Amino acid sequence: MKSGSMVEITNLRVRYGHREVLKGISLDVRRGEVLGIIGPAQSGKSTLLRTINRTIDDVPGAVVTGAIKVDGEDVRQLKNVFALRRKIGMVTPLPIGLPLSIFDNVAFAPRMAGLRDRRELAERVERCLRHAALWEEVKDRLHTLGTSLSGGQQQRLTIARALSHDPEILCLDEFSIAIDPVTTMRIEDVLRDLRSRMTIILVTNLVQQARRLADRTAFLFNGELLEVDRTEVIFSHSPANRKTYEYVNGIFG
């Protein structure tokens, strides 16, 4: 694995119309680390992820300035945005099973990227479902609808789909919002397995989740990056910023 930064964000500003949601953020995500991003609602966490895989392009009225490099390439100069998105697995807050079979849900991205070989597809689907800790539950009904799974299963299906195009970065945006604590723990175990294989950016509204999983944690507040440091420091008694201490200890937020 190459060393250095997987994602380099320099002075990133995003506004929707006149409302500035990211106010000049500079942040590096190191190769192979788990970076937790915490912060109250409306602090720009999801927007940050959207700028990384450039789905921000599809948000009407969004204006982006600053630089974002993924794997050394400036994503804002990229011609082939689809290749960029294939490098990044994105897990959204609400589980989205596409209205396809479980198999097709996971095989969707490889197929769109041009993979046709049945055997290879089947292997890929099994591997991704195993990584997402869903294989055992669904292996006998791969051809039933993805949308018929329970919420927690659908979220793992979403993760399997996010892994299906072999991403180098996995972004999770508050993945536990719609699922119960037990399933959340299962998925956290999944993430612990995955951390050796890829860079993970974990946006979460549960500060303890960042504490459990992240190597480093960034605290985003009102569109500004107040602090980023090793997770132990953020959760210690003396993070650099007073606000960080108050937020992780539930004094506000």
Partner 1 sequence: MTLLMVLPLLLIIGYLVYQAWPILSLDFLLTNPKHGMRAGGIWSPLLGTLYLVVISLVIAAPIGVLAAVFLNEYARDNWFTRIVNLAVVNLAGVPSIVHALFGLGAFVLFAGLGKSILAASLTLAVMTMPVIIASTKEALAAVPMAFREACWNVGATRWQTTRYVVLPNSISGILTGVILQVSRAAGETAPIMFTGAVFFKAIKEGHVFAYGLFDQCMALSMHLFTISTQVPDVPKALPYGTAVVLLGTVLAVNAVSIVVRVRLRSRRRW
* Nearest-approach distance from CB 241 to partner 1, in angstroms: 32
Verify binding: residue 53, partner 1, rule CB under 8 A.
yes
Question: Which of these segments, 4-12, 128-136, 158-166, 194-202, binds partner 1 (CB under 8 A)?
Answer: 158-166
Verify binding: residue 90, partner 1, rule CB under 8 A.
yes
- Taken in order 122, 126, 132, 138, the sign of the CA dihedral is positive
Q: What angle do CA 204, 34, 105 make, to 5 degrees?
A: 70
Write out the H or E segment, with its range, that includes residue 48: helix 45-52
Q: Which residues have C-beta within 8 Å of that of residue 221, sequence separation ≥ 6?
A: 39, 40, 43, 243, 247
Q: How many CB atoms lie within 10 A of CB 21?
A: 18
Site string (194-223) toward partner 1, x via CB under 8 A: ------------------------------
Verify binding: residue 46, partner 1, rule CB under 8 A.
no
Residue 69 has what DSSP assignment? E
Question: Which of these segments, 15-23, 159-167, 187-195, 211-219, binds partner 1 (CB under 8 A)?
Answer: 159-167
# residues contacting partner 1 (CB under 8 A): 30
User: Of 99, 228, 102, nearest to 161 (Cα)?
Assistant: 102
Chain positions 104 to 133 lying near partner 1, rule: CB under 8 A, are 108-109, 112-113
* Residues in touch with partner 1 (CB under 8 A): 53, 55, 58, 60, 82-86, 88-90, 92, 94, 96-100, 108-109, 112-113, 145, 147, 158, 161-162, 164-165
